[in-house]
Amino acid sequence: MAGFILKRLFQAVFVVLAVTLIVSFAVRLSGDPAIMLTGGAGGVTEQDLQNIRKALGLERSFFAQYFSFLQGILVGDFGRSFMGGTPVAKLIGQALPATLLLAFASLLTSIAISVPLGVYAAVKRGRWPDQLIRILSLVGLSFPNFWLAIMMVLFFSITLGLLPPSGMEGPQSFVMPALTMAIILTATNVRLVRTSMLETLSQQYIMVARSKGLKDWVVLYKHALRNSAIPLVTYIGLQFGGLIGSIVIVERVFNWPGMGTLAFDAISARDYPVLQGSITVLALFIVFINIAVDIAYGLVDPRIRTE
């Protein structure tokens, strides 16, 4: 197990190198920050633009810029924002907790909904509760998340006036963004739990557990669920990448002060350091989650742990 984790960490270094390289390159295709900074005002000469580029360090070759970026990462310095000169690390430090809180809140909500529903659908396989859950899951899958977010704002904030429409102030502001994300996740997770449970329930050891006289919920939630969790853990790990992607949109709608908003604003402003920094941190985070998933396997399945 320790060797395995070492191997994964070793791989992670290359993943991060590749990600930073691609990000630095792609960011520079988005346009000239100097023009952006001057805001297209009249009377700006080519010489002025040159000076701005020089001040930002953009006149150097791509690789020189890339290496100073890498060097910075090693000591936790992501440079300064082109807009206002705030250190990027500080911006990320403010935005990352908001995003992580939202991501985990959505994920936990989704698990809390999808596990009991999926188990129930598997038990009632082919009968009306199963059909209903499958239809609801399909409906959930069919909603675009931004639309869902807007509908929620309309209903809960504008019509009912129950929840704040935007920002992050207090626990009630979590409800709508987390729910939007959770509904999308739940739609797929329910199906996954159902399929995985059906597979497990057909196993011999489930019949053995029943023949011992155990109550149904013990058979389902102790004996079956733990075995069904193995594919589930894999999928949730993979889902995290997608989750971060859709968070950008949901954060926009709810004006959530997270990484998505930070990256979005940086793209519009061609703020290379902020963009590079925030995407690198998100990539690191996804790599880290995947390693955590590998460790989780061992916790769930002793066949992996004891190898």
Partner 1 sequence: MSEHTAKIGSANEPLLSVRSLSVEFRTDQGAFRAVKDVSFDVQPGKTLAVVGESGSGKSVTSLAIMRLTDYTGGRIAGGEVLFRPKGGEAIDLVKASDDTLRGIRGKDIAMIFQEPMTSLNPVFTIGNQIGETLALHEGLNTRDSRLRAKELLQKVRLPDADKLLDRYPHQLSGGMRQRVMIAMALACNPKLLIADEPTTALDVTIQAQILNIIRDLQQEMGTAVIFITHDMGVVAEMADDVVVMWKGDKVEQAPVREIFAAPKHPYTRALLSAVPRLGSLKGQPLPKRSPVMVMDGGEPRQVGETHVQNTANYTKPILQVDKLTTRFDVGKTFFGRVTHRVHAVEEVSFDIYPGETLALVGESGSGKSTIGRTLQQLIEPTGGTVRFDGRDMNAMSHGERRRLRQQIQYIFQDPFASLDPRHTVGYSIAEPIVVHGLIKDRKAIDKRVQELLEQVGLQPQHAKRYPHEFSGGQRQRVCIARALASDPKLIIADESVSALDVSIQAQIVNLLMELQERRGLSYLFITHDMAVVEKISHRVAVMYLGQIVEIGTRQAVFENPQHSYTRKLLSAVPIADPQRERAKTRIEGEIPSPVRPVGKEPAIHRMHEVEPGHWVALEADTMRGAA
Residues that bind partner 1 (CB under 8 A): 3, 6-7, 203-215, 223, 226-227, 300-303, 306
Q: Which residue's CB is nearer to partner 1, number 37 or number 220?
A: 220
State the minimum distance, in angstroms, from the CB of residue 284 to partner 1.
24
State the minimum distance, in angstroms, from the CB of residue 217 to partner 1.
12
Which candidate, 176, 185, 174, places its Cα nearest to that of 242?
A: 185
Dump the DSSP string for the chain.
-HHHHHHHHHHHHHHHHHHHHHHHHHHTTS--HHHHHHTT-TT--HHHHHHHHHHHTTTS-HHHHHHHHHHHHHTT---B-TTTT-BHHHHHHHHHHHHHHHHHHHHHHHHHHHHHHHHHHHHTTTSHHHHHHHHHHHHHHHS-HHHHHHHHIIIIIIIS--S-SSS--STHHHHHHHHHHHHHHHHHHHHHHHHHHHHHHTSHHHHHHHHTT--HHHIIIIIIHHHHHHHHHHHHHHHHHHHHHHHHHHHHHHT--SHHHHHHHHHHHT-HHHHHHHHHHHHHHHHHHHHHHHHHHHHH-HHHHT-
Q: Which residue's CB is nearer to partner 1, number 108 or number 207?
A: 207
Inter-residue contact 281 to 96 (CB < 8 Å): yes
Q: Which residue's CB is nearer to partner 1, number 155 or number 205?
A: 205
Q: Which residue's CB is nearer to partner 1, number 39 or number 213?
A: 213
Q: Which residue's CB is nearer to partner 1, number 6 or number 17?
A: 6
State the minimum distance, in angstroms, from the CB of residue 201 to partner 1.
8
State the minimum distance, in angstroms, from the CB of residue 131 to partner 1.
17
Q: Which residue's CB is nearer to partner 1, number 68 or number 203?
A: 203
State the minimum distance, in angstroms, from the CB of residue 135 to partner 1.
23
State the minimum distance, in angstroms, from the CB of residue 125 to partner 1.
9
Q: Which residue's CB is nearer to partner 1, number 3 or number 85?
A: 3
State the minimum distance, in angstroms, from the CB of residue 33 to partner 1.
45
